[in-house]
Amino acid sequence: MEIHVLAVDYDGTLATDGFVDASTIAALERFRQSGRHILLVTGRIISQLTKVFSHLDLCNLVVADNGAVLYEPTTGESQRLAERPPAEFIAELARRGVPQLEIGDVIVATWEPHQETVLKTIHDMKLDLQIIFNKGAVMILPTSVNKATGLQAALNRLGLSHLNTVGIGDAENDQAFLRHCALSAAVDNAIEIVKQQVDFVTPGARGAGVVELIDRILTSHLPPKRDEGDKLPSPASVSS
């Protein structure tokens, strides 16, 4: 299998406590110098990401807002891949007492245990929205938008294929894009369901695991793809 693309999650995968260490950045540089491409696939919004990761230029494209936004680091241009939930919905969540609402270009997010209020609001307002979970975060997006759809949009933009892509992640919301990759990996700190879904788990956690994966790709020592029968079915995201 020829690998042209690394698709990598940010928090808990590339980053530890929001920041990427020097050895991981050096590995990303080696990967780009090999002529390959890096796609960052994150639930974060761009305004957050630019504050914590000063090496976004190592990424050919960023898939932000959990698949709803494409961002080009070299130009600073972003493209919405879906429409943000209506302002009336956001106002109604606040009125119903949902705290800490985070609003991106498309994504609207809060935290558990407010998912029941969010779901009831979606139902009451008859909106075509879904909830995607991410280690306690409750992310609200248009139905059928996720990290896999965002990854495919990024690959289309670059003229590349998911059949030449390796993905690595750690949390619930990573399952969609990991299934879309030709080969999938989880860092050692990933939640158990993700470890059970991927082709292999790196011995290292977070950035160290990404470095191990990059070194495997550059030395052509990737493990074989796991038989689908050995993987557990992925639970569907909650939707209205």
Tens-digit pLDDT profile for residues 157-173: 999 999 999 999 999 99
| 151: its two tokens | 């990854």
Question: pTM of the prediction?
Answer: 0.93
The amino acid present at 125, given as its one-letter code, is M
Please, how many CA atoms are within 13 Å of residue 43, restricted to the half-sphere of its CB? 28
List, for residues 43-95, the tens digit of each pLDDT value: 999 999 999 999 999 999 999 999 999 999 999 999 999 999 999 999 999 99
Is the pLDDT score of 235 beyond 70?
no
Say what the pLDDT of residue 230 is.
Answer: 65
Say what the pLDDT of residue 237 is.
Answer: 36
> Phi/psi of residue 67, each to 5°?
105, -5
Beta bridge partners of 200: 185
Q: How many CB atoms lie within 10 A of CB 81?
A: 20
* Domains (range + CATH), the chain: 5-80+145-230 (3.40.50.1000), 87-142 (3.90.1070.10)
